[in-house]
């Protein structure tokens, strides 16, 4: 299975594509971040996110998409903007016929580090380790997106095992 993880943000939107081949070793296919200019109108920034994610989806052919649930915002205005970015990310995925899974930060950290209250740098180090990368992915939003993809791959594998054992 190949998953596109998206870490939504109003300044940087991270992305990472991770594959879990039959040998069970996670592979990072690509990662990075879409940098947005705060000087641009929000509508232009949203269009940039949609267009860039659409290209990534077209190039990488993920089977599914995973994003982080909104859990905290500095204020209501920030929460609304983040919600709009998440909506555009979901639209890019659904426009390509892909399902979107959403995970809480606690779930993502638990899946990657084994501890839901892990610090950001711990998540980044574990992502690099799990994907056998020489360096921590930069910017941090890219590492977060990879963590979201890893979380989805682990969760999906567990659900498939439980389904086949029970059914």
Could you report how far apart the first and last alpha carbons of the chain are, in Å? 21
137 SS3 class: coil
**How far is residue 57's CA from residue 51's CA, in Å, rounded to a whole number?**
10
**How far is residue 121's CA from residue 137's CA, in Å, rounded to a whole number?**
11
Any catalytic annotation for residue 63? no
Quick count: other Cβ atoms within 10 Å of Cβ 80?
Answer: 11
Catalytic residue, from 58, 63, 64, 68: name it: 68
Q: Which contiguous run of DSSP H or E holds residue 46? A: helix 42-60
Q: Which contiguous run of DSSP H or E holds residue 85? A: helix 76-95
**How far is residue 106's CA from residue 163's CA, in Å, rounded to a whole number?**
24
Any catalytic annotation for residue 141? yes
Q: Which residue has the tokens 């899974």?
A: 101
Catalytic residue, from 11, 58, 102, 141: name it: 141
Any catalytic annotation for residue 135? no
Catalytic residue, from 7, 19, 135, 138: name it: 7
Cα 143–chain centre separation? 9
Report, as residue numbers or ranges, the catalytic residues. Answer: 7, 68, 141
């Amino acid at each position: 299975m190949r998953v596109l993880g998206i870490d939504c943000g109003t300044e940087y939107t991270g992305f990472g594509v991770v594959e879990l081949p039959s040998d069970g070793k996670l592979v990072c296919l690509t990662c990075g971040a879409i940098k947005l200019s705060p000087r641009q109108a929000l509508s232009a920034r949203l269009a940039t996110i949609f267009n860039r994610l659409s290209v990534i989806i077209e190039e990488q052919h993920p089977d599914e998409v995973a994003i982080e649930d909104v859990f905290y915002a500095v204020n209501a205005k920030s929460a609304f903007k983040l919600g709009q970015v998440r909506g555009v990310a979901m639209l890019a995925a659904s426009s390509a016929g892909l399902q979107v899974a959403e995970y809480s930060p606690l779930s993502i950290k638990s899946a990657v580090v084994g501890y839901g209250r892990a610090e950001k740098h711990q998540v980044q180090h574990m992502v690099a380790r799990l994907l056998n990368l020489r360096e921590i992915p930069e910017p941090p939003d890219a590492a977060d997106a990879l963590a979201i993809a890893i979380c989805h791959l682990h969760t999906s594998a567990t659900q498939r095992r439980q389904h086949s054992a029970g059914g």
